[in-house]
Amino acid sequence: MNMMLRTLVSASAVCLLTACGGSGGGGVTSSPTPATPDPDPVIPVIDYDTAEYRLNYGLDQIGAIAAYEEGVTGEGITVAVIDTGIDTDNSELVGNISPDSINIITGSYVDVEDSDPDGHGTAVAGVIAANKNDNWVHGVAFNSTILAINAADPGSCEPDGDCSFYDSDIAAAVDYAVAHGASVINISLGGDAPNTPTLSHALRNAVEAGLVIVVSAGNIQDDDPAGTGDEPEASALDALQSWANGQIIIAGSVGENNVISDFSYKAGTIAQEVFLVAAGELIPAVDINEEFKWAYSGTSFSTPHIAGAAALLFEAFPNLTGQQVAELLYSTATDLGDEGLDSVYGSGLINLTEAFAPQGTTSVAVQTATGEVITVSTETAVVYTPGAFGSLAGMADALSDSMMLDGYNRSYSIDLGENIHLDDRGPDLESITDSSLQSRDAVLTLSSTADISFSWKEEDRFREIDELYFSNRNVAERRVRDLRFSFRQDLPGGAQFSLASGLSVAELTSDYNHDDFLTIGKGDFMSLQIRDGSTTALAGLPVTQATRFRMSLGQGQKRFDSIGLETESLLLLTELEHDLSAAFTAGVDLGMLREDGSVLGSLSDGALKIGEGASSLFATLRFDYALSGKLSLFGNYSRGLTTVEAAAASLLGGLDRLTSSSFSLGLKGRDLAGLGEQVSFAVSQPLRVDSGAASVSYVESRDYVSDVLNFASRRVSLVPDGREIDIELAMEMAGFFGATLRVNMLHQINPGHSTTAGDISSVLFRLSSGF
């Protein structure tokens, strides 16, 4: 059994030119004259889409240029070609032939010379590693090293190019390839009998050593009976063994039109998962006479396309195992024929563009506080900032060239700065309009000192349609939403107690239904307390006739389903207010805000998580001064100190304590024109970080051999590059033709505290009437 014969699997070799004889003829392009070098060294831009590249349609068909443009050419990778030997003096292969090449039968390098009169082994090697020299055609992995192993039975090669091989010699050649550092083995041989145990054992050892082995599917001969080729030749079927681990790839052939070649054996139902196709028709290849005329056909020449592709992957990603390289080639192949795996094309056509692109779940490597390196999915790496941090331009710049790992632990560059999203859109006028039109309220008086207030939003614009077509449903329940209520109890001595659900501290301490401004007073620390799902309590008492004290406690939580994040907040606020005169009132507020899942209102997650939460202490100074009976001046200034709880696993760390501030200053007038109108004008700055920095860590380099990631860090400021200033004029007039007219005119400079955000002007007219 060890004497089983194998033969070459070339279907034909034809001349590309009009005449095959002689050494003349076209097809040779001279190398360009070297340009005079610049005095300053420059990095040359290499053009890979050349006539030499395009001559073999098989290169473009498998997307080889995707590897070349990444600087991957097969350098440092040894591909063993077990065949008829090689023309060691061929100019197209000079420099790419391993000195360990051998005639496995005689044990001599001298005898490695191609035994085939047609130069089968030389042509196959050329498809893999012919030099890129602007002459004729180059190989798939044109800088790889060919370990040529001549395993042809001495004297068996006939003038018509047929040679014979014994399984025992092929097995010895496989063992030799493993021992001499090959990463890929190309076997463009075949036979209709199963491999002998000797050869199977050698192939198994090669698989266990981590090699990828590409074998020809086989060629249909003219005298073969009908049905031949419906599945791979028997000599290729070791690829189906469990020990093959997918690392033995069976190569079928297609033409330039991506249709299976007439001569090619197919995947059948048995080999679909380990069967790939590549160009195998009329492939221009190196010939032993260097006439550069010959084009070969056969699965012998689709095989080296796949072997060369494997070599490119091995060079580009040294961390990959043979099994992973093969799996990448299968999983990224272009689907041909019936959808998915099929009995003709198997897994499909080699696609290096996809194979070189990230595959599987992508992640970012981060260091924990203990120095442990873990990976975090890029899908969760996100920051949503409503403005206190601005656009985080410094952080975005530091993250613009981050290292990403794909499902095969391969490194890629990713701009994580694009995952930072700033809300600089200005006020949502439609939402404000709908809210005001749909708001309803009611007061239930319990006694002279207690009442319950209800507020809700009712969607009744389509009530008639609802009642007409959907009367079988609970229409009222469907229409009512955003229900809020508060309980107020006046106590002896002027004290007061309130309890509310669905109202924030800011809403409970002010008039919930009245809202002069679109943005003024809505960008301070109190606005960071989540209203959704909130429970709020307030207690107040007079200290003296002119001094009042209140304390509020509010808790809320909200889940943002669209981004899969949630946050909770707890706000404790104390207010002390004193009437300095009948016209002048001043107040001091002290507060503590605890956020879980957010930092100053910013939501973040994954590798970009700013922090697990934050604790802020803040103080607000405010005043209200009546300039006259109709006009008053008001203002407030808040300043806070925030401590961020470090994220467990993030590229961000070492956050300073943050200081931040907000302010507003304005005028309110009533009945200035004698029309019962109320006019307000104010200038404000929403909450903005004034000081603070963080360290952004990133992978500076990677040692693929030891798989060690070397981290570096960069200190970046968290202070926004701009300052938002809002200027707003608000007017309200009752009795306007039987209705209430409200007008707001707002201009926002650097919205979101971002200098790159254009100014926003908004005008809102609201006309409402109850009936």
How far is residue 194's CA from residue 185's CA, in Å, rounded to a whole number? Answer: 19
Could you tell me the CATH number of the domain that includes residue 157?
Answer: 3.40.50.200
Q: What's the pLDDT at 28?
A: 25
* Tens digits of residue pLDDT in 83-133: 999 999 999 999 999 999 999 999 999 889 988 888 999 999 999 999 999
pLDDT recorded at residue 418? 92
CA distance 715 to 157: 70
Q: Is the model's pLDDT at 675 over the cut of 80? A: no
Whether the per-residue pLDDT at 211 is higher than 60: the answer is yes
Residue 392 in domain: no
Residue 351 shares a structural domain with residue 442: no
Residue that finishes a domain, picked among 291, 322, 355: 355
Q: Is residue 18 part of a domain?
A: no
477 and 567, same domain (yes or no): yes
Residue by residue, what is the 3-state secondary structure of 436-498? HHHEEEEEEEEECCEEEEEEEEECCCCHHHHHHHCCCCCHHHHHEEEEEEEEEEECHHHCEEE
Write down the pLDDT at residue 506. Answer: 81
Residue 416 lies in a domain: no
- Residue 159: predicted pLDDT: 77
Are 439 and 348 found together in one domain? no
14/559: higher pLDDT = 559
Q: Enumerate the β-bridge partners of residue 605.
A: 382
Q: Which of 309, 335, 355 is the last residue of a domain?
A: 355
Q: How confident is the model at residue 24 (pLDDT cuts 50, 70, 90)?
A: very low
Regarding whether 147 and 284 lie in a shared domain, the answer is yes
Assigned domain for 561 exists? yes
Q: What are the C-alpha distances in Å from 307 to residues 11, 53, 245, 499, 636?
A: 19, 17, 17, 75, 73
Helix (H) or strand (E) holding 681: strand 678-691
Share above pLDDT 70 across residues of the chain, in percent, rounded to a whole number:
86
Query: Which residue among 304, 335, 355 closes a domain?
Result: 355
Q: In a 3-state reduction of DSSP, which class is residue 169?
A: helix
Domain total of the chain: 2
Residues 353, 60: Cα–Cα separation, whole Å: 10
DSSP symbol at 769: -
Strands of the sheet with 212-216, listed across from one edge: 102-103, 145-150, 78-83, 184-187, 212-216, 248-254, 275-279, 348-349
Q: Examine residue 408 and state whether it is found in any structural domain, yes or no.
A: no
Residue 474 lies in a domain: yes
* Residue, of 214 and 735, whose pLDDT is higher: 214
Same domain for 669 and 751, yes or no, is yes
pLDDT in tens, 701-717: 888 888 888 888 999 99
Task: Report the chain's C-alpha Rg in angstroms.
Answer: 39
Is the pLDDT reported for residue 134 higher than 70?
yes
Spatial distance between the Cα atoms of 496 and 608, rounded to a whole number of angstroms:
45
Q: How confident is the model at residue 528 (pLDDT cuts 50, 70, 90)?
A: confident
Looking at the DSSP assignment, which residues form a beta bridge with residue 253? 278
3-state secondary structure 397-417: HHCCCEEEECCCCCEEEECHH
At 756, is the secondary structure helix, strand, or coil? Answer: coil
Pair 441, 314 in one domain: no
Distance of CA 591 to the CA centre of its chain: 40
| Residue 494 pLDDT level (bands cut at 50, 70, 90) | confident
Please tell me whether residues 433 and 349 are part of one structural domain: no
pTM over 0.85: no
Q: Is 15 part of a structural domain of the chain?
A: no
- pLDDT above 80 (res 523): no
- Identity of the amino acid at 488: R
Same-domain check for residues 632 and 746: yes
Same domain, 350 and 249: yes
* Domain that residue 89 falls in: 56-221+228-355
Q: Above 50 in pLDDT, residue 565?
A: yes
- Examine the domain organization and report whether 578 and 724 are in the same domain: yes
Q: What is the pLDDT of residues 255-302, one digit of tens each?
A: 999 999 999 999 999 999 999 999 999 999 888 877 776 789 999 999
Distances (CA, A) of 265 to 230, 465, 747: 6, 67, 72
- Sign of the CA dihedral running 21, 24, 26, 30: positive
**What CATH number should be reported for the domain holding residue 721?**
2.40.160
Band the pLDDT of 685: cuts 50, 70, 90: very high
**Which strands form 373-377's sheet, in the order they lie side by side?**
373-377, 363-367, 402-405, 411-414
Cα pseudo-dihedral 223, 225, 229, 234, rounded to 10: -90
Q: Are residues 200 and 285 in the same domain?
A: yes
* Model confidence band, residue 36 (pLDDT cutoffs 50, 70, 90): very low
Active site positions, annotated: 83, 120, 300
Please indicate, yes or no, if residue 77 is contained in any of the structural domains: yes
